[in-house]
């Protein structure tokens, strides 16, 4: 199930890093199909055969990169999650938003690939890789919400799954806007970090209101 040990493992670790970083950059910038092995080896100034000796195939290289990135990230993410302390729910949510934003900025490869995967059906290993990552994220949000309910800051009758969906959708779009002004709807998410954070907090606040308010229906309507 894991990679069958190859030449690559014996390499000078410094060279390993150089290779992985360059390949990572290529995939992050172009996506899977548009990424070119020729271009990677060209920039690395190594022979094409070597890359194939290391990883077997383009898909193998990609899988290796993805797995490595996910592994590297897991620990810091857990730390954020577990450092929630005893803050109020809205503060926690804002903190998570801020951390995610910083994370996306610091790991353009993983974030870029993840974003592309969401929209592109024909990504290799899409189902496997996506469902791993997403399961983790959704559990995280659900737990956060349930904690909020326990504290009484989130309506008890709110469906955690729906709420988690909302959080993820908004966070996702906000992080995308951070890279690409076209998505930012004039909010300023893609400008300087300061206004960006203010915008993120505003978004989190509106969400929290939606989670906390006890009920709205102006007339006791149907349902």
Partner DNA sequence: CATAGGAATGACCACCTGGTCATTTTCCCG
Partner DNA sequence: CGGGAAAATGACCAGGTGGTCATTCCTATG
Least distance in Å: CB of 187 to a second copy? 6
| Contact status: 18 vs DNA (CB under 7 A) | no
| Contact status: 29 vs DNA (CB under 7 A) | no
CA distance 176 to 114: 11
| Contact status: 206 vs a second copy (CB under 8 A) | yes
* Binding span for DNA by CB under 7 A among 54-62, 144-152, 182-190, 201-209: 54-62
Other CB atoms within a 10 A radius of the CB of residue 21 amount to: 13
CA distance 81 to 95: 10
CA distance 28 to 107: 10
Please, what's the b/e burial string for 81-111 (b: 16 or more CB within 10 A of its CB; e: otherwise)?
beeeeeeebbebbbbbbbbbbebbeebebbb
> In this structure, what token pair is assigned to residue 149?
């309910």
Q: Report the residue from 3, 34, 36, 191 that binds a second copy according to the rule CB under 8 A.
A: 34
CA distance 102 to 5: 34
180 binds, among a second copy, DNA, none (CB under 5 to 8 A by kind): a second copy
Least distance in Å: CB of 29 to DNA? 13
- The DSSP call for residue 11 is S
| Contact status: 35 vs DNA (CB under 7 A) | yes
| Contact status: 183 vs a second copy (CB under 8 A) | yes
Q: Which is nearer to DNA, 14 or 119 (CB)?
A: 14
Per rule CB under 7 A, count of chain residues that contact DNA: 20
- Closest listed residue to residue 204, CA positions, set 110, 48, 96, 129: 96
| Contact status: 36 vs DNA (CB under 7 A) | yes
Say if residue 37 is exposed, middle or buried (CB neighbours under 10 Å; 0-12, 13-18, 19+): middle
* Binding span for a second copy by CB under 8 A among 15-23, 60-68, 70-78, 116-124: 116-124
Least distance in Å: CB of 35 to a second copy? 11
Residues that bind a second copy (CB under 8 A): 30-31, 33-34, 88, 90, 115-116, 118-122, 126-127, 130-131, 134, 138, 153, 158-159, 161-166, 168-170, 172-174, 176, 180, 182-183, 185-187, 199, 202-203, 205-213, 215-218
């Amino acid at each position: 199930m894991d990679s069958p040990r190859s030449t690559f493992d014996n390499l000078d670790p410094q060279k390993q890093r150089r290779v992985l970083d360059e390949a990572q950059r290529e995939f992050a910038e172009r996506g899977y199909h548009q990424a070119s092995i020729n271009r990677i080896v060209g920039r690395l100034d190594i022979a094409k055969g070597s890359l194939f000796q290391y990883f077997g195939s383009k898909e193998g290289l990609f899988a290796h990169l993805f797995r490595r990135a996910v592994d590297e990230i897991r620990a810091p993410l857990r730390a954020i999650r577990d450092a929630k302390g005893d803050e109020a729910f809205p503060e926690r949510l804002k903190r998570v938003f801020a951390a995610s934003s910083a994370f996306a900025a610091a790991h353009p490869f993983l974030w870029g690939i993840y974003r592309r995967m969401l929209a592109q059906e024909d990504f290799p290993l899409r189902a496997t890789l996506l469902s791993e990552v997403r399961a983790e994220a959704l559990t995280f949000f659900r737990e956060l919400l349930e904690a909020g309910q326990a504290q009484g800051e989130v309506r008890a009758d709110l469906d955690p799954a729906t709420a988690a969906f909302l959080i993820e959708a908004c966070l996702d779009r906000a992080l995308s806007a951070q890279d690409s002004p076209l998505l930012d709807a004039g909010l300023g998410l893609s400008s300087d970090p300061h206004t960006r954070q203010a915008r993120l907090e505003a978004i989190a606040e509106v969400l929290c209101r939606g989670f906390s308010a006890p009920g709205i229906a102006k007339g006791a309507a149907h349902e």
